[in-house]
A and B are shown apart, each in its own frame.
Chain A
Amino acid sequence: MTRGRIRAKFRRSSLYTFATCRRPHTSDEEETTCLPVQGPGYSRVVQCNQPYLHEIKPLKYCTNYISTTKYNFITFIPKAIFEQFRRVANLYFLLAAALSLTPVTPFAPLSVIAPLVFVVGLSMAKEAMEDWRRFVQDMKVNLRKASVHKQDGTFGPMPWMKIRVGDVVKVEKDQFFPADLLFLSSSYEDGICYVETMNLDGETNLKVKRALEVTQNIEDDSSLKDFSGTIKCEDPNSSLYNFVGKMEYDCKVYPIDPSQILLRDSKLRNTAYVYGVVVFTGQDSKVMQNSTKSPSKRSTIEKQMDKIIYILFIVLVVMSVMSSIGFIMKTKYDLPNWWYLQVPDHEHLYDPQQPLQSGFYHLVTALMLYGYLIPISLYVSIEVVKVLQAHFINKDIHMFDEETGTPAQARTSNLNEELGQVDTILSDKTGTLTCNQMDFIKCSIAGIAYGTLPSDVELAAAEQMVMDMDGQGKRGMPQSVEKGCEFVKSDIQLETVVTAKDDMLKHPIKGFSFEDKRLMSGNWFNESTADNILLFFRILSVCHTAIPEQNEETGTYTYEAESPDEGAFLIAAREFGFELSKRTQLGVHVRERYPSYEDPVEREYKVLNLLDFTSKRKRMSVIVRDENDQILLLCKGADSIIFERLANGGKEYLDVTTTHLNDYGEAGLRTLAIAYKKLDEAEYNAWNDEFNRAKTSFGSDREANLERVSDMMERDLILVGATAVEDKLQKGVPQCIDKLALAGLKIWVLTGDKMETAINIGFSCSLLRQGMKQICIAVNPEVFVSNESSVEEGILKQITDGFQMVKQEKDPHAAYALIIDGKTLAYALEDDMKHIFLRLAVECASVICCRVSPKQKALVTRLVKEGTGKITLAIGDGANDVGMIQEADIGVGISGCEGMQAVMASDFAIAEFRFLERLLVVHGHWCYKRIAQMICYFFYKNIAFGLTIFYFEMFAGFSGQSVYDDWYMLLFNVVLTSLPVISLGVFEQDVDSEVCLQFPTLYQQGPKNLFFDWLRIFGWMANGLYASLIIFFLNIIIFYDQAFRASGQTADMTAVGTAMMTSVLWAVNVQIVLTMSHFTWIQHVLIVASIATWYLFLLVYGELRHALEVNAFRILLEILAPAPIYWSSTLLVTVVCNLPYFAHISLQRSLNPLDHHIIQEIKYYKKDIEDGRMWSRERSKARQKTKIGFSARVDAKIRQLKGRLHKK
């Protein structure tokens, strides 16, 4: 922005009167976090330029060191461990580990502690890594250098973290502010500077800050030597747009408002340097106060998994109690006879005299022994899998936006599978569905409509109509004459539309798509209403807060405007010949090509006051003095607001303009009304005095005062005309919505826009269509005034009526759309009404909520989430969507253009709305199936293994002895079976991504939860139970008494245990092969490796000294491997274990195949290539019944035409 451009210096002391909720972003967004300062809390005292005073209490404030880390070196261990053991399962394992040190343990302590340490260590290592990354980032910030005043009039560099309250710092161009500063002076003589607040609120346009007049004269370093003052201000708080304080300087008190505060993490732009006094440091700064931790979310599957774990815990306890009862009986009645045990022992673990005490000890033993039912490595495996899945999402090249260079980003990995189960999408409109790029496209001046180019919506509608017809043609519908006519008509329309658009593309000016010869090139001089047109253009070029920038090379101007609407107006004004060229101290300079078009004249308008735009006021005005000393109030604002402020004499064009506004609204355009009023000197002066009083007043009612005074001025206006700008739809949005609708997703639009605009966008996205019955629920403004209860009654009646209507609908194709506005929604969201409202909304095909505040967005999201129990996804781009994004089960932020606020709060970030399709339909679908299958398999495997331990107990007098070596058990979960299941969770694909996209209906397997319902979970558990029975009893029968080798030896416990373990491993690994349907070399390697590792382990283990202690010495080499029966038992058990599952899946596939089975087969036989027609026919049928999206539109059209034919 610096090189090649000239920026005029100017002073505008009267700008930004309402320096409050600065979120003008777009006019359609409702008021944001606009918290009035309340309560006492004005205790902060800052001694300017005397930081040493702040080193002792009570003036000692926190340092400027910031930390976003969760832990530090000391707290990491305790805190991270605490976090880990908040999981019930981990706590159980911790308890087991502690008990393993007592004599009741069935295992060697190491074999219990080692896996726990491994699992917890791995999770903690992940935490530590993430925290380290945060720490490095923090330190980078903390060590940035800023130049700080050193008491003697010189400045020296100092790291940010050392900066204290009261320090005077000098910030240079394009540097970040190190703390919240009070702006003292800048390189500009009138003490203004430009600030980019991208990091705070995501707005890209620059803001102007203005120093107090008394401090503006601090010009160089040396003049700061003797500078001092005292600031008294509010305590640290999170409100970005508010600041209340005062400064005592030279024995006078000056109020400080937000325009003198430079916030940390915003950037100085277009200003050589500024001086500032540090007011808030570190954690006290507004930006740090604002950083909220997003709530941690857990996926439905994980919640269900917890339930399974609880079930397994119950099974575990039941088994342990059974085992203990068995133990008590054995101990009491049999043990005294078992002389070889020499009971009782000293520790009373086996005391027939005290069977209950021994039984209790045994219960503890049993709880540990059967702990293998609960997979210790499950959480850690899931975490690994999800991180890898997230990696795939991040790396997906199809979700990379070339234009902005943004890849998709899975910011939290623990919701991947939730993406596959979404039922309702709640979408923001501006910036999400639309680009938030405004094009000036039409206007109405003095009752005459100008502008011939069609809007996107009109264009889409025309295209759609032609497409509808084409769709019909393909389906071989008989053509009626009538329809033929329609064809021709729409073709012609389309042609004109397309060619017109092409013309425009030849000379594209960003923000300006206007074409009308009557106004262009000075032709408007000849219009009959030239006076009004002149006034209109002048208002466009003067009534704004933008800053012009000249490009040195081309000499043209660009504008830094607060909102894209305003930018579009200025560009339009420039194109019409009213080029804003300069902002000076006193006003704006406009180069007007008037009265002669060829010869521009520079005129100056002195800006006396500026009543800026807020979403509450919905209007902005400037009061200017023109060259003829005429004082004018120029105003632009929402039509409804302006219309109620018109003077009786100013309504000349009201009716015509209203008609035009309605037309524009229908075409999907955003409209503003333009008005003015002439003031005489005395009137103005009287008002100005009052205004200044309000402005300098101090306290919480300041804004109310300002507003009241402004309101007095903005009355009796004269309407000039109206503007219409187009909010462009983003690329691929209608297609994406259609695909999502076909996948069976419901889409709600929540927007701050007014109803008409929202409806228009609804039409252009095919969320609404002709023939859809619209249920509009709105408050009747007259009733609103009268009383609250009747309003409520009215709304309730509207909702109930709508509900009755929907319920009584006989036509299965009838589609309803619910449109509700914010005011009404406030009532509809009340406890007594929200359920009926939700029931109505669920019945409707599309729901559009307009004029909703960020809070309401979140409330609606919560209502849908809790009311339907289905999974919701919220998508949005701006700070006003944060609430909704955090509230929904999944929050998706658009990271393309606007700021980072929404992205920061989101779980997934994508560059554009259209990537949502791939994120859900491909990644969501895969992740859901992967995780579901993985968890099922995990439980299967641990049940199959864990129960064999229990069975063995029955044959070991319930004594707590395990048949397996401790190390086998340890390795089972951690090494031997973990990698194949992880590969299942990471790489499994039922069908490839192409097919996922082509058959959107496959997505419904997720929301219907086909792969993780209780039937399936219990099926898997039953499979585990069966496998455990087979593994145990087959092995026992084969090995228990007979010699198992030609040389006559019988098998001891270790040999039986090892043979059994071999069977377990083969059985579960073959099972996973049957479960998978997609084998890359990775799966092959991992599965083979797991089995190979087992034998390798036995070989190595058999040679270790340790093996001598546990009878496992050379277990494989000398004892088992030479015995054919060992191998033969493995084969037998493996086959028997997997036979039922294999028969089950074969039977299911042959008799009751699921959709993905058929598609796999089609792909397998390459039928999709041989029979392309069948393939595309099935693709077109593979969709959910939906009433939205353009496919539904086409269907409706066909039905309509068919109906007509029938009548004939």
Chain B
Amino acid sequence: MNSGTPSSSAAGAGSADSIAPRRNSKRPKYSRFTQQELPACKPILTPKWVIGTFLLVSVIFIPIGVVSLFASRDVVEIVDRYETECIPETLRNDKVGFIQSDRSKTCQRTLRVPKNMKQPIYVYYQLDNFYQNHRRYVKSRSDQQLRNNGSLQDTGPCKPEDNTAGGPIVPCGLIAWSLFNDTYGFTRNNQQLDVNKKGISWKSDREHKFGKNVFPRNFQSGTLKGGATLNPNVSLSEQEDLIVWMRTAALPTFRKLYGKIEVDLQRDDLINVTLENNYNTYSFSGKKKLVLSTTSWLGGKNDFVGIAYLTVGGLCFFLALVFLLIYLIKPRQLGDPSYLSWNRNPSGH
């Protein structure tokens, strides 16, 4: 309400002069920014641009698609689903009973190599209907404990697999507890094929996430036995199966790296797999698959990327043609004032 100072004793005749600078001071300063006159590029969608963009997309996408598709086609993949076959036929009506019994779970499988496979050949196990992404599951781990020897007691989020009578479990939590424990052995022509289990996890995981001086303790010693056991004399940073398993998968169907076969396989080679079918996926009717696959620069066999690129590239090419047709059939000169609303329907604006 009170504007200005009350001390305007020097007003009067002088006031006219004193007003002048005040007026100037209120005058907004000119700058291109405040006047919203900054230089700007104002692209508009001319036919040239529209068709050009579509063509550009298709020109880029189609080659990428072709390359991706070729890369994917180069990948040789052998998939063997074994969860039913590895149960003796007589016991298949009670699969859960079988898997929980003490019977021998060894199982022999034979794989035929469809094409030459260059080493390294990656061995995966694929589980289905296994919700590694369930919230209860994902949270049930203690990264502190995995990293530091001193954080044994950090089992907060690990319930119910946190403690036993003998002290805290290392590694604690449901994820570690349910570690996958099927094992695979490969022979070709009765010759052992070595599976290299080193280097299947991320380097940073081994070096930073899983401690070199953290050793398993009280693991799988509770009343309920989950999955694999761990050698208490090997530090966690070298338990690569665990490290891979601890990276929870995004979807209930997932593959995890089991190892690498570092010899080339020839077409029509027969590979015998000696398989310990220990892991219980029968409770939740989950499939188990053994996968042998080479990789390309794009990774595994993934036709989808190539097809998607080709489709989009093709679609863009088609759209380019459609727009070309539109511009040919119904040409509109750009900036033609006759298309302004007041010219198009002069009667009713």
Which A positions have Cβ atoms within 8 angstroms of B? 1-5, 68, 106, 137, 140-141, 144, 173-176, 199, 265, 267, 287, 291, 334, 337-343, 345-346, 349-350, 391-392, 394-397, 400, 402, 404-407, 900, 926, 952, 955-957, 959-961, 963, 987, 989, 992-993, 1001, 1004, 1034, 1036-1057, 1077-1082, 1108-1109, 1111, 1113-1114, 1118-1119, 1123-1125, 1128-1129, 1131-1132, 1135-1136, 1139, 1142-1143, 1145-1147, 1149-1151, 1153-1155, 1157-1165, 1167, 1174, 1177-1178, 1181-1185
CB atoms of A1161 and B335 under 8 A apart: yes
Q: Which residues of A contact B248 (CB under 8 A)?
A: 1052-1053, 1111
- Return A1079 CB to nearest CB of chain B, in Å: 5
Q: Assuming the A-B contacts A337-B283, A1160-B44, are A396 and B28 also in contact, with contact meaning beta carbons closer than 8 angstroms in the complex?
A: yes
B217 at the interface (CB under 8 A from A): no
Selected interface stretch from B102-110, B134-142, B231-239, B269-277: B134-142
CB atoms of B305 and A1040 under 8 A apart: no
Q: Which residues of B contact A1051 (CB under 8 A)?
A: 250
Q: Which residues of A contact B202 (CB under 8 A)?
A: 1049, 1114, 1118-1119
8 nearest A-B pairs in the assembled complex, by CB-CB distance: A405-B23, A1042-B300, A1161-B335, A1052-B247, A1043-B300, A340-B178, A1048-B122, A395-B34
CB atoms of B249 and A987 under 8 A apart: no
CA distance in complex: A1159, B248 (Å): 56
- Return A150 CB to nearest CB of chain B, in Å: 21
CB atoms of A961 and B208 under 8 A apart: no
Q: Which residue of B lies closest to A1049 (CB)?
A: B257
CB atoms of B312 and A1146 under 8 A apart: no
Identify A961's interface contact among B28, B126, B133, B143, CB under 8 A.
B133
Q: Assuming the A-B contacts A3-B13, A959-B131, A1125-B298, are A395 and B159 also in contact, with contact meaning beta carbons closer than 8 angstroms in the complex?
A: no
Q: Which residues of A contact B326 (CB under 8 A)?
A: 1147, 1150-1151
- Return A725 CB to nearest CB of chain B, in Å: 26
B165 at the interface (CB under 8 A from A): no
Identify B38's interface contact among A2, A957, A1080, A1135, CB under 8 A.
A1080
CB atoms of A342 and B24 under 8 A apart: no
- Return B262 CB to nearest CB of chain A, in Å: 12
Q: Which residues of B contact A1145 (CB under 8 A)?
A: 45
Q: Assuming the A-B contacts A1041-B126, A1128-B305, are A1158 and B337 also in contact, with contact meaning beta carbons closer than 8 angstroms in the complex?
A: yes
Identify B208's interface contact among A173, A1108, A1129, A1150, CB under 8 A.
A1108
Q: Assuming the A-B contacts A341-B134, A1079-B43, A1132-B312, are A1178 and B337 also in contact, with contact meaning beta carbons closer than 8 angstroms in the complex?
A: yes
Known: A5-B12, A957-B131, A1079-B42. 15 other contacts (CB 8 A): A1-B12, A199-B1, A265-B2, A291-B1, A341-B137, A342-B160, A342-B174, A404-B23, A1053-B138, A1078-B42, A1124-B298, A1157-B44, A1158-B336, A1158-B337, A1178-B340
Q: Which residue of A lies closest to B15 (CB)?
A: A1
Q: Assuming the A-B contacts A1040-B254, A1050-B256, are A144 and B6 also in contact, with contact meaning beta carbons closer than 8 angstroms in the complex?
A: yes
Q: Which residue of A lies closest to B313 (CB)?
A: A1135
B163 at the interface (CB under 8 A from A): no
Task: Give chain B interface residues in 197-216, CB to chain A under 8 Å.
Answer: 200, 202-205, 208-209
Q: Which residues of B contact A955 (CB under 8 A)?
A: 133, 250-252
Q: Which residues of B contact A1053 (CB under 8 A)?
A: 132-133, 138, 247-250
B39 at the interface (CB under 8 A from A): yes
Identify A956's interface contact among B3, B12, B131, B209, CB under 8 A.
B131
Q: Which residue of B lies closest to A1166 (CB)?
A: B335
Could you mark each residue 30-43 of chain B with 1 if its beta carbon is under 8 Å from any beta carbon of chain A, else 0?
Answer: 10001111111111
Q: Which residue of B lies closest to A177 (CB)?
A: B6
Q: Which residues of B contact A1054 (CB under 8 A)?
A: 247
CA distance in complex: A1081, B46 (Å): 22
CA distance in complex: A1139, B315 (Å): 10
CB atoms of A175 and B251 under 8 A apart: no
CA distance in complex: A1167, B332 (Å): 15
- Return A904 CB to nearest CB of chain B, in Å: 8
CB atoms of B47 and A1046 under 8 A apart: no
CA distance in complex: A390, B29 (Å): 16
Q: Which residue of A lies closest to B297 (CB)?
A: A1046
Q: Which residues of B contact A396 (CB under 8 A)?
A: 28, 34-35
CB atoms of B134 and A961 under 8 A apart: yes
Q: Which residues of B contact A2 (CB under 8 A)?
A: 9, 11-12
- Chain B: residues with Cβ within 8 Å of the partner, total of 119
CA distance in complex: A1049, B203 (Å): 11
Q: Assuming the A-B contacts A287-B1, A350-B136, A1158-B335, are A1118 and B204 also in contact, with contact meaning beta carbons closer than 8 angstroms in the complex?
A: yes
CA distance in complex: A723, B248 (Å): 95
Q: Which residues of A contact B295 (CB under 8 A)?
A: 1043, 1045-1048
Q: Which residues of A contact B35 (CB under 8 A)?
A: 395-397
Identify A338's interface contact among B45, B57, B131, CB under 8 A.
B131
CA distance in complex: A1037, B250 (Å): 11
Q: Which residues of A contact B342 (CB under 8 A)?
A: 1001, 1181-1183
Identify A1046's interface contact among B283, B299, B330, CB under 8 A.
B299
B296 at the interface (CB under 8 A from A): yes
CB atoms of A1123 and B178 under 8 A apart: no
CB atoms of B297 and A338 under 8 A apart: no
Could you mark each residue 221-254 of chain B with 1 if its beta carbon is under 8 Å from any beta carbon of chain A, else 0?
Answer: 0001010000000000000000000011111111
CB atoms of A199 and B3 under 8 A apart: yes
15 inter-chain pairs at a CB distance below 8 angstroms, sorted by A residue, are A174-B11, A175-B7, A341-B136, A342-B160, A395-B29, A404-B23, A407-B28, A1043-B122, A1048-B122, A1113-B204, A1124-B297, A1139-B312, A1150-B47, A1165-B334, A1177-B337
B193 at the interface (CB under 8 A from A): no
Q: Which residues of A contact B195 (CB under 8 A)?
A: none
Could you mark each residue 320-335 of chain B with 1 if its beta carbon is under 8 Å from any beta carbon of chain A, else 0?
Answer: 0001001100101011
Task: Give chain B interface residues in 5-30, CB to chain A under 8 Å.
Answer: 6-9, 11-14, 19, 22-24, 26-30
CA distance in complex: A35, B341 (Å): 54
Q: Which residues of A contact B302 (CB under 8 A)?
A: 1038, 1042, 1125
CB atoms of B280 and A1118 under 8 A apart: no
CA distance in complex: A1167, B319 (Å): 29
Q: Which residue of A lies closest to B175 (CB)?
A: A340
Q: Give the one of B6, B41, B299 with max A CB within 10 A.
A: B299
CA distance in complex: A1151, B203 (Å): 57
B78 at the interface (CB under 8 A from A): no
CB atoms of B250 and A1039 under 8 A apart: yes
Q: Give the one of A342, A1042, A1161 with max B CB within 10 A.
A: A1042
CB atoms of B250 and A405 under 8 A apart: no
CB atoms of A395 and B28 under 8 A apart: yes
- Return A986 CB to nearest CB of chain B, in Å: 9
CB atoms of B349 and A406 under 8 A apart: no
- Return A378 CB to nearest CB of chain B, in Å: 24
Q: Which residue of B lies closest to A343 (CB)?
A: B136
Q: Which residues of A contact B305 (CB under 8 A)?
A: 1038, 1125, 1128-1129, 1132
- Return A949 CB to nearest CB of chain B, in Å: 13
B70 at the interface (CB under 8 A from A): no
Q: Which residues of B contact A140 (CB under 8 A)?
A: 2
- Return B2 CB to nearest CB of chain A, in Å: 5
CB atoms of B252 and A1139 under 8 A apart: no
Q: Which residues of A contact B14 (CB under 8 A)?
A: 3
CA distance in complex: A1182, B35 (Å): 25
CA distance in complex: A1019, B6 (Å): 59
CA distance in complex: A561, B256 (Å): 95
CB atoms of A405 and B134 under 8 A apart: no
CB atoms of A1132 and B308 under 8 A apart: yes
B343 at the interface (CB under 8 A from A): yes
Q: Which residue of A lies closest to B23 (CB)?
A: A405
B120 at the interface (CB under 8 A from A): yes
Q: Which residues of A contact B153 (CB under 8 A)?
A: none
CB atoms of B159 and A345 under 8 A apart: yes
B288 at the interface (CB under 8 A from A): no
- Return B251 CB to nearest CB of chain A, in Å: 5
Could you mark each residue 160-185 of chain B with 1 if its beta carbon is under 8 Å from any beta carbon of chain A, else 0?
Answer: 11000000000000100110000000
Q: Assuming the A-B contacts A960-B135, A961-B133, are A405 and B19 also in contact, with contact meaning beta carbons closer than 8 angstroms in the complex?
A: yes
